[in-house]
Chains A and B, each alone.
Chain A
Amino acid sequence: MELEVRRVRQAFLSGRSRPLRFRLQQLEALRRMVQEREKDILAAIAADLCKSEFNVYSQEVITVLGEIDFMLENLPEWVTAKPVKKNVLTMLDEAYIQPQPLGVVLIIGAWNYPFVLTIQPLIGAIAAGNAVIIKPSELSENTAKMLAKLLPQYLDQDLYIVINGGVEETTELLKQRFDHIFYTGNTAVGKIVMEAAAKHLTPVTLELGGKSPCYIDKDCDLDIVCRRITWGKYMNCGQTCIAPDYILCEASLQNQIVWKIKETVKEFYGENIKESPDYERIINLRHFKRILSLLEGQKIAFGGETDEATRYIAPTVLTDVDPKTKVMQEEIFGPILPIVPVKNVDEAINFINEREKPLALYVFSHNHKLIKRMIDETSSGGVTGNDVIMHFMLNSFPFGGVGSSGMGAYHGKHSFDTFSHQRPCLLKSLKREGANKLRYPPNSQSKVDWGKFFLLKRFNKEKLGLLLLTFLGIVAAVLVKKYQAVLRRKALLIFLVVHRLRWSSKQR
């Protein structure tokens, strides 16, 4: 493990990953990989999660391609130095922020969207000029093997390597020194990753999870609301970090919600859900059993059917759920949707605030003021109002958590920034040393006053411009006065010439 990391570091130190051209080439190669090896990619992910072709495309591949295209288009601009506003002391100097790669980045992927959650950070790390070690999740075995096979065929084999393995290998890997660690997964392991990073003072981005609440107001179109929630909840069989984890609503709405979700499920997956190519399966037996245990003692409004052999759990809704029960104690990460009745939006807000900050928060209402209040009085990684999941899709948003749902963010330019060091640079000249006398000892009160002036006075371009104009005006006036006689003579000459030209042109 140590040797592998050292090899990657040597590759980084060679400087190969830095030039813009190289980064663009690698990103283009990645794009080609996605297009040419489409079949292999689909097959691997389908095998891991029983996902349909369409779902792989719409959930994973399209985001990856979009991200690569976005990088290719904008990277040339991002790598350039950005000049900053200067003050009086630095007026004549060059001051800018220059993005630089960090070095060797470790990306630990997740199993629920094994392709996009590993490749999207990789895209950012490559774009920022780093070398990368990718550690896909061992739970999504086929995807892990596929990445280990395909990536070296398209990317630089020394700068970007895939290391596969389980807990043991990951622990070994975390003992090594990296320049940034990007982890997607659960809270418990997030703590382990950050602790390991602390030993080397390695900055981390942790994309974790939590229970994302979904508040449904009286004042909304329940048909549409339930369709959107159904889509977001049962997508990937509930194994989505930003899936609406549970519903909060007034008790009077429960029955309607249950009925409408039930109808929508039928519409989406048919009468025999097991046969639907659009409904996925639970990743493995351990999670299957875990999710099953959450059903104990609960009032199942519909669903609840399971099949251990195929790790199938039907889309399920629970009603009148007691907040103290197990299903409300951990992130569900499965196709079970508890409804917790609350009296009103105040109680909902209190309920949410008593708990850990979630990765996402959802609120459905026609009442814009209510939505605003929800946002103002709670905190979460992100928010989508009147829909679910969608804030993930806009890459101008920094996507990430807060509190126990994570730290740091990525997507689009935020990925580039996450994997770069934004280095402040000030370039002065060795001239004008005389001016510096003001700062050198021996000091005096007047020097103190000057120091304050330069530090606290704003560099106001407009005022300075006006001052300059006044100064120039004075200079002009003085010059005119001084050379009056000469100017008079010259003026006469010019007048005569111009008159002559006009007269001669009139002749023609």
Chain B
Amino acid sequence: MDPFEDTLRRLREAFHAGRTRPAEFRAAQLRGLGRFLQENKQLLHDALAQDLHKSAFESEVSEVAISQGEVTLALRNLRAWMKDERVPKNLATQLDSAFIRKEPFGLVLIIAPWNYPLNLTLVPLVGALAAGNCVVLKPSEISKSVEKVLAEVLPRYLDQSCFAVVLGGPQETGQLLEHRFDYIFFTGSPRVGKIVMTAAAKHLTPVTLELGGKNPCYVDDNCDPQTVANRVAWFRYFNAGQTCVAPDYILCSPEMQERLLPALQSTITRFYGDDPQSSPNLGRIINQKQFQRLRALLGCGRVAIGGQSDESDRYIAPTVLVDVQETEPVMQEEIFGPILPIVNVRSVDEAIEFINRREKPLALYAFSNSSQVVKRVLTQTSSGGFCGNDGFMHMTLASLPFGGVGASGMGRYHGKFSFDTFSHHRSCLLRSPGMEKLNALRYPPQSPRRLRVLLVAMEARGCSCTLL
């Protein structure tokens, strides 16, 4: 018995009936999303606190406000984004109507992760709804409390003939993926990303995969260690390190390390107090499995700061590791926890070489007073995104596309990029039935004279048209 068959059929029928096409319908859905966020603020905060021990600040800033911002942006720009886009014409098409029509794909599947269970579910949803698709949402079963709110409360705010939430673990998700969708948007690990793309290949379904990697953070000798420590620590320990774009490890010289360590200690104490476990501003690890994995990583290198853990609380202290070898587990997998290893390099060149030997990360960071050094790291590496002298601030700008490259993912979204991701850009050329004499040039039978005309036309540089 396939639990998803009916739901999917229902949504497809609604799409074929054209329900999601009109701008008014889409705007109503977006407004519904906005109301969901406003009317259930406390409920959502509580759920996030329950799942990840998120503070009100983190919940507001990294989950609710971001989602709200995307809703507002989409509502404000919906009609402009939906408009047919006129394109420049060439000689042959001068008198025709040429435009790109933005069309919804149809039935979209969004698979969301557990680390920012609201943000990473709703922000893609905004794009999918704005683009006029019917959506199946599969929230992460690991962030149970938020999953419950999304399953029970969210549908009340949206038209349920065009939107459904489906629940389940890896097995159910596998079953779901056997069905045909018109677009799949997945946020999660590269390992599961491959599974999703393989399943999508069977139906030739286009995908956006927001994956992860080890985001390097190069710290130059020429900078103020306290400022750097503040910024790196904030982005590293935010959400207890469970952020796909968090700085994963530091690359710096041994001298810089000497200056950085006391600065980091001072920052951590200032942020979380002497007993970080009792700080309301530090999150917790999502579940036992992740906790055990992270606790094992604490054995790598040498603990310079932190290192404490508490199983009953799934608490891991903000930790800094030194004397770490590249072959150790902490440098082999994406950490996704409040552990920051420092790897020594002798120069920026060595750092760049280290970075380029590895998979392309989702984000890359470089800290230096010298803009030349920052720009050098930028131009000589590749990554999803880049931020100089700060952490993942580039994510707060909706005018910047957000996505990975290589093993860190494919496709992008945020703001208008979301709308474009969930739309098919259909080229439309409307020719006039007249002007047939011009067309005569292209019809057989061809003659040497015609060939000459064509050759002469080709001589003209910039002839980007086919003079048929």
Q: How many residues of B contact A (CB 8 A)?
A: 117
- Beyond A58-B468, A62-B466, A201-B190, whether A423 also contacts B385 by CB under 8 A is yes
Q: Are B426 and A381 in contact (CB under 8 A)?
A: yes
Whole-angstrom distance from the CB of A224 to the nearest CB of chain B?
Answer: 5
Which of A107-115, A255-263, A447-455, A474-482 forms contacts with chain B? Answer: A447-455
What 0/1 pattern do residues 449 to 468 of B give for CB contact below 8 A with A? 01100110010011111111
| Interface majority SS (helix, strand, loop, mixed), chain B | mixed
Complex interface: chain B residues within 8 A of A100 (CB): 382
- Beyond A179-B406, A397-B427, whether A58 also contacts B60 by CB under 8 A is no
- Beyond A394-B90, A447-B57, A455-B66, whether A407 also contacts B206 by CB under 8 A is yes
What 0/1 pattern do residues 400 to 432 of B give for CB contact below 8 A with A? 111001110111100000000000111111111
Cα(A108)–Cα(B317), bound, Å: 51
Of chain A, the residue at the smallest CB distance from B424 is A402
Complex interface: chain B residues within 8 A of A98 (CB): 378
Cα(A100)–Cα(B405), bound, Å: 11
What 0/1 pattern do residues 55 to 81 of B give for CB contact below 8 A with A? 111101100011011001000000000
Complex interface: chain A residues within 8 A of B405 (CB): 102, 421, 423
Q: Are A398 and B425 in contact (CB under 8 A)?
A: yes
- Beyond A62-B454, A231-B442, A422-B401, whether A456 also contacts B65 by CB under 8 A is yes
What 0/1 pattern do residues 192 to 203 of B give for CB contact below 8 A with A? 011001101110
Q: Are B451 and A451 in contact (CB under 8 A)?
A: no
Of chain A, the residue at the smallest CB distance from B87 is A396
Contact of A430 among B60, B106, B367, B446 (CB under 8 A): B367
Whole-angstrom distance from the CB of B85 to the nearest CB of chain A?
Answer: 10
Q: Are A430 and B400 in contact (CB under 8 A)?
A: no
| Segment 372-420 of B: residues with Cβ below 8 Å from A | 374-375, 378, 382-390, 393-394, 396-397, 399-402, 405-407, 409-412
Cα(A407)–Cα(B204), bound, Å: 8
Complex interface: chain B residues within 8 A of A268 (CB): 443-445
Cα(A52)–Cα(B114), bound, Å: 61
Is A155 engaged at the interface, CB distance under 8 Å to the other chain?
A: no
Q: Are B16 and A353 in contact (CB under 8 A)?
A: yes
Whole-angstrom distance from the CB of B52 to the nearest CB of chain A?
Answer: 15
Q: Are B462 and A440 in contact (CB under 8 A)?
A: no
Q: Are B410 and A95 in contact (CB under 8 A)?
A: no
Q: Are A394 and B431 in contact (CB under 8 A)?
A: no
Q: Are B231 and A436 in contact (CB under 8 A)?
A: yes
Is B159 engaged at the interface, CB distance under 8 Å to the other chain?
A: no
Whole-angstrom distance from the CB of B71 to the nearest CB of chain A?
Answer: 10
Which of A135-143, A329-337, A371-379, A494-502 forms contacts with chain B? Answer: A371-379
Contact of B427 among A203, A221, A382 (CB under 8 A): A382
Q: Are A383 and B57 in contact (CB under 8 A)?
A: no
Q: Are A391 and B400 in contact (CB under 8 A)?
A: no
- Beyond A201-B194, A385-B428, A403-B182, whether A428 also contacts B390 by CB under 8 A is yes
Cα(A455)–Cα(B70), bound, Å: 10
- Beyond A58-B468, A201-B197, A379-B424, whether A269 also contacts B190 by CB under 8 A is no
Cα(A52)–Cα(B446), bound, Å: 9
Q: Are A443 and B281 in contact (CB under 8 A)?
A: yes
Complex interface: chain A residues within 8 A of B451 (CB): 53-54, 57
- Beyond A63-B466, A270-B445, A440-B234, whether A428 also contacts B393 by CB under 8 A is yes
Is A9 engaged at the interface, CB distance under 8 Å to the other chain?
A: no
Complex interface: chain B residues within 8 A of A442 (CB): 271-273, 279-281
Q: Are A90 and B445 in contact (CB under 8 A)?
A: no
- Beyond A89-B396, A394-B98, A428-B389, whether A451 also contacts B57 by CB under 8 A is yes
Cα(A445)–Cα(B55), bound, Å: 11
Complex interface: chain B residues within 8 A of A380 (CB): 426
Cα(A139)–Cα(B2), bound, Å: 43
Q: Are A448 and B466 in contact (CB under 8 A)?
A: no
Is B88 engaged at the interface, CB distance under 8 Å to the other chain?
A: yes
Is A253 engaged at the interface, CB distance under 8 Å to the other chain?
A: no
Is B369 engaged at the interface, CB distance under 8 Å to the other chain?
A: yes
Q: Give the most central of B182, B272, B427: most A CB within 10 Å.
A: B427
Complex interface: chain A residues within 8 A of B100 (CB): 397-398
| Segment 165-180 of A: residues with Cβ below 8 Å from B | 179
Which of B25-33, B142-150, B165-173, B220-228 forms contacts with chain A? Answer: B220-228
Is B218 engaged at the interface, CB distance under 8 Å to the other chain?
A: no
Of chain B, the residue at the smallest CB distance from A89 is B396
Task: Name 14 extra pairs, CB < 8 A, besides A278-B444, A455-B61, A455-B396.
Answer: A65-B463, A73-B462, A97-B400, A231-B443, A269-B444, A377-B18, A381-B427, A383-B430, A384-B430, A433-B224, A443-B56, A445-B56, A448-B56, A451-B65
Residues of B within 8 A of A (CB): 16, 18, 21, 55-58, 60-61, 65-66, 68-69, 72, 87-90, 92-93, 98, 100-101, 103, 105-106, 182, 190, 193-194, 197-198, 200-202, 204, 206, 209, 211, 223-224, 226-228, 230-231, 234, 270-273, 279-282, 356, 367-369, 371, 374-375, 378, 382-390, 393-394, 396-397, 399-402, 405-407, 409-412, 424-433, 436, 439, 442-446, 450-451, 454-455, 458, 461-468
Q: Can you identify 14 A-B contacts, CB atoms within 8 angstroms?
A: A58-B442, A62-B467, A70-B462, A353-B16, A377-B18, A379-B424, A380-B426, A385-B431, A386-B430, A393-B93, A394-B93, A423-B384, A423-B405, A430-B389
